Amino acid sequence: MNHTQRPPHTRWRFLALVALGGACGSALRAAIALAIHDDAFPVATLTVNLAGAFGLGMLLEALSRFGDDTGRRRVLRLGIGTGFFGGFTTYSTFAVDTVRLLADGAPPLAIGYALVTLAVGAVATVLGIMLGAGLHRRRSRGGGAA
């Protein structure tokens, strides 16, 4: 198997791209967590997870509509999709925050937080997909930059 036929996850260039994107996404998430003081309710975690669901939905839909997963589209998918949004979103912290709310004696808040995160996350993803599809339609009609 030659170099161009190897899967992306076995190529150093793509691994480095995912790592760099992940570091950037994690750094932005940490900055948001420091900026939003949320002792009573995990606002920062909710914010990054919903923004990440929207952004990832938009990115992947737009990339899939613009063509095959090759070249620049593959680089964007791996660097921004897998790397940045993978580092930016944090469903492990979501789980820990939910357990913390339960342990703090706030089961209704914990259940509400979990349901809002999942339901609104799904809606955010769908909205991102719709925007990604709209970007493609706009470009294919000649309204966007090539």
Q: Is 89 assigned a ligand-binding role in the annotation?
A: yes
Q: In the block, which residue shows the tokens 């750094």?
A: 27
Domain boundaries, the chain: 9-138
Task: Assess contact for 73 and 58: CB atoms under 8 A.
Answer: no
Q: Is 10 assigned a ligand-binding role in the annotation?
A: no
Name the burial class of residue 109, with classes exposed (0-12), middle (13-18) and buried (19+) by CB atoms within 10 angstroms of its CB: middle
Instruction: Name the DSSP class of 5.
Output: G
Task: Assess contact for 110 and 45: CB atoms under 8 A.
Answer: no
Q: Tens of pLDDT along the chain (146 residues)?
A: 555 677 777 888 989 999 999 999 999 999 999 999 888 899 999 999 999 999 999 999 999 998 888 889 999 999 999 999 999 999 999 999 999 999 999 999 999 999 999 999 999 999 999 999 998 777 777 655 44
Rounded CA separation 78/86 (Å): 10
Digit-coded pLDDT (tens) for 3-41: 567 777 788 898 999 999 999 999 999 999 999 988 889
